[in-house]
Amino acid sequence: MTSDEPTLDRVFALATHLSPVDKLRLIERLVPQVTRVWLTPAVPVPIVVDDQLRELEALIIEAANAGRADQDSADLISQMRR
Give pLDDT tens digits for 15-72: 999 998 889 989 988 888 887 777 766 666 566 667 777 887 887 777 777 766 666 6
Reported residue count of the chain is 82
Predicted confidence at residue 2, as pLDDT, reads: 61
More confident residue, 19 or 75: 19
Nearest to 40 by CA among 29, 51, 52, 32: 32
Backbone φ and ψ of 7, nearest 5°: -125, 165
The vertex-30 CA angle with 19 and 24, nearest 5°, equals: 25
Q: What is the pLDDT of residue 12?
A: 92
pTM equals 0.42
Res 66: pLDDT: 72
